[in-house]
Amino acid sequence: MAARILITGASGFVGRALHPAINAAFPDAIIRPFIGDIAQRSVVVDAITRARADIVIHLAAIAAVPQAQRDLARCFDVNLTGTLHLAETMLTHTPHAWLIYFGSGDCYGASFKSGQPVSEMTALAPLNSYAASKAAADLTLGALAAERGLRLLRLRPFNQIGPAMPESYAMGSFAAQLKRIGAGMAPPILNVGNLDAERDMIHVNDVTAAVVRALARIDAGTLPDNLVLNLASGQSRRIGTMLNDLIAQSGLAVTIEADPARMRPSDIPRAVGDASAARQHLNWEPIISYQQFLSDLLAPNADQR
């Protein structure tokens, strides 16, 4: 593949893992990061017209629920308006290019209450501001694909775990706190939110593997237009159990304290995804082990090595 690829959010958690994965799989690809505020149309137009990318991978988002709640207007500016700027500019200036959009399994929201694994046909029923903004963008992109021929792949990854996971996510927060405790930078007290929630967890490198497989299908001309794919393991893990295993892996003796500020009023008890469609279209399934999850969470950040 000698494609030109533009990645928004390239410096984020998934982006940092995705760039080297694409480089390894497609050494002839030209990969460029999107630079600037995606909520500004002029910035988006400049980036698209300069890059003339064959494929745009859209990761940029206000992705942490607390941050989205603090500034709802900015959340929608970035997650919805910025996404529409990108899609409309591509339709005008690079109409044959593909857009790979990163949505979120969180968009299924209230549909998880059925207790069954959700498929791509399950209704999006978001229960927080972040998920609402992502669902709005997801559905609008689907309409643009249907109405105006946007070449689109929508991915809906579930909870992702990996090295240097941001502290804005529960497991990332636990790992960061343990690393500070282990380094003698904090007392042996771990602040936590709801530990009874069950989540479908996948490693970030499994997610990047799905993108690489999608790029190969695009290159071969075998990926259907306007496809929606969940990226999930199909099983749930209790947050409290994962925390206990992470503490055991760290070898530290800590006290766990509940922090009311970390509790979400609309927290979903159990969330599980059905990724049968990803297996069908990409021959993909998550392969990284649970033990690797824990090891990678506790690995030093790049600037600590």
Report the C-alpha dihedral over residues 233, 235, 238, 242, rounded to 10 degrees: -50
Q: At what angle do helices 239-250 and 290-298 cross, to 10 degrees?
A: 60
| Cα–Cα distance, 35 to 20 (Å, whole number) | 18
| Cα–Cα distance, 106 to 263 (Å, whole number) | 16
| Cα–Cα distance, 237 to 303 (Å, whole number) | 30
pLDDT of residue 266: 60
Which residue ranges of the chain lie beneath pLDDT 70?
265-266, 301-305
H helices of the chain, in order, are 13-25, 41-51, 65-70, 72-76, 82-93, 129-148, 170-182, 204-220, 239-250, 276-282, 290-298
Contacts for 196 with CB less than 8 Å, ≥ 6 apart: 238, 239, 240, 269
Q: Is-contact 124 59, C-beta < 8 A? A: no
pLDDT of residue 147: 97
Among 193, 79, 82, 196, smallest CA distance to 126 is for 79
Q: Is 280 helix (H, G, I), strand (E, B) or coil?
A: helix
Alpha-carbon torsion 165, 51, 61, 212, what sign?
Answer: negative
| Cα–Cα distance, 220 to 212 (Å, whole number) | 12
- DSSP label at residue 78: I
Q: Is-contact 109 125, C-beta < 8 A? A: yes
Residue type, 250: S
The CATH number of the structural domain formed by 4-164+202-235+272-287 is 3.40.50.720
Can you read off the two tokens belonging to residue 183? 């380094």
